[in-house]
Amino acid sequence: MGRMNATEHPKKGLSYDQAGVDIEAGDQLVSNIKGMVGRTHGPRVLGPHGAFAGLFRLDYNEALFQRNFREPVLAACTDGVGTKLKIAIDMGILDTVGIDCVAMNVNDLIVQGAEPLFFLDYIGLHKQDPDATARIVEGVAKGCEIAGCALIGGECAEMPDIYGPGEFDLVGFSVGVVELERAIDPLRIQEGDVLIGLESSGVHSNGYSLVRAILEKVDADLDEVVPEAQRLAGEQETLGRVLLEPTRIYARPIVKLLAHYRVKKIISMMSHITGGGLPGNLPRVLPDDMDAVIDRSSWTVPPIFDWLQDAGDVDREEMYRVFNMGIGYVLAVRPTFADSVLKQLEREGEASHVIGRIERGQGRMRWDNE
């Protein structure tokens, strides 16, 4: 029996595109996002867009910048948007979740007293759509502009075996810097320190597994105008839009506030209120012999939380255990400086309230008079 001639049955070789990865679409994306990424760059960013790694000047030239660091300490963190992405995908609104991604990272950095320096993002998706992905990156770039940090790189990975059609995941990585002697040290917390809470912009990016369970329970229409979930007083908004309101980025006002007190260390503690709410996040930054005592009546809970609690028949304590309930960031400050800090935050556009105080205790958060 003779050997088969290759020309009779030609081989059909596989390509990367047939395997689910479109190289040309990836190249198109790089071109599409070049301008929006460049808007986040300042003189500290070195090298061209699209290099293998981003370069950022740390110990910088005093002729170009205000100061050099004496003992710089780097701060780094990573976080993602979570299942809030499912609502964004369902609604086809992709240009806000990038802000969430930046916020979830830089809000953690500033807790340590650090100034956010640069940011990188990772997008894993089913299939590359340059226009859709550019909308996601547009949100990331906008978040970086709000935070005052540079978007110096990222990765976009097509993985059709991992993600279904239209699905994607979005994660960020951020690096900041703080002068060693200016780093926030919770051991400075004293009895009598005043707790100031900065208002959130809504649900932020935590608790969306419960949010989606509630939506499923009541068969909610994301495009329905729900007065109880209005975003602003007197303004009707769809439920989906309210739930996609981006996480508030506190970086610029907090960095500016810290810079205002270069000598006096009047801020003894800070906390980003994420998953776990006030009861779960304040103890993370408390010494073992101090409690944070919070007055629930000191701020107004946004209507979206009332709607979620009623629709899901969720216990009040569970709501406070899962969600921020209207307070996205907390500072502990010396009592004599509380009014000054409130005024400075107001000038920076932050709505803030005295929500409690520090007392002797066991490293817990507890409610006042409850």
User: Per residue in 80-131, pLDDT tens?
Assistant: 999 999 999 999 999 999 999 999 999 999 999 999 999 999 999 998 888 8
Mean pLDDT in residue range 204-216: 96
The total of other beta-carbon atoms located within 10 Å of residue 219's CB is 6
Write the burial class of residue 340 (CB in 10 Å: 0-12 exposed, 13-18 middle, 19+ buried): middle
**Tens-place pLDDT, residues 216-244:** 999 999 998 877 666 655 567 899 999 99
Query: What's the topology of domain 23-49+69-182?
Result: 60s Ribosomal Protein L30; Chain: A; (3.30.1330)
Q: Which of 205, 32, 30, 43 has its CA nearest to residue 117?
A: 43
Let me know if domain 186-367 sits in CATH 3.90.650.10.
yes
Q: How far apart are CA 352 and CA 328, in angstroms?
A: 10
How confident is the model at residue 63, as a pLDDT? 53
Q: Give the pLDDT band of residue 3 (cuts 50, 70, 90).
A: very low
**Tens-place pLDDT, residues 303-354:** 999 999 999 999 999 999 999 999 999 999 999 999 999 999 999 999 999 9
62-71, 152-161, 310-319, 324-333: lowest mean pLDDT where?
62-71
16-30, 55-69, 266-280: lowest mean pLDDT where?
16-30
| CA 34, chain centre distance (Å) | 23
- The answer, yes or no, to whether residue 60 has pLDDT greater than 60, is no
Q: What is the share, in percent, of the chain residues with pLDDT greater than 90?
A: 67
Kindly report, as residue ranges, where domains of CATH 3.30.1330.10 are found in the chain: 23-49+69-182
Q: What is the mean pLDDT of the chain?
A: 86
Kindly report, as residue ranges, where domains of CATH 3.90.650.10 are found in the chain: 186-367
- The answer, yes or no, to whether residue 23 has pLDDT greater than 80, is no
How confident is the model at residue 6, as a pLDDT? 44
- Calculate the dihedral angle through the C-alpha atoms of 193, 198, 204, 208, rounding to the nearest 10 degrees: 40
Q: Give the pLDDT band of residue 201 (cuts 50, 70, 90).
A: very high
Handedness of CA 10, 11, 16, 17 (dihedral sign): positive
HSE toward the beta carbon, residue 202, CA cutoff 13 A: 22
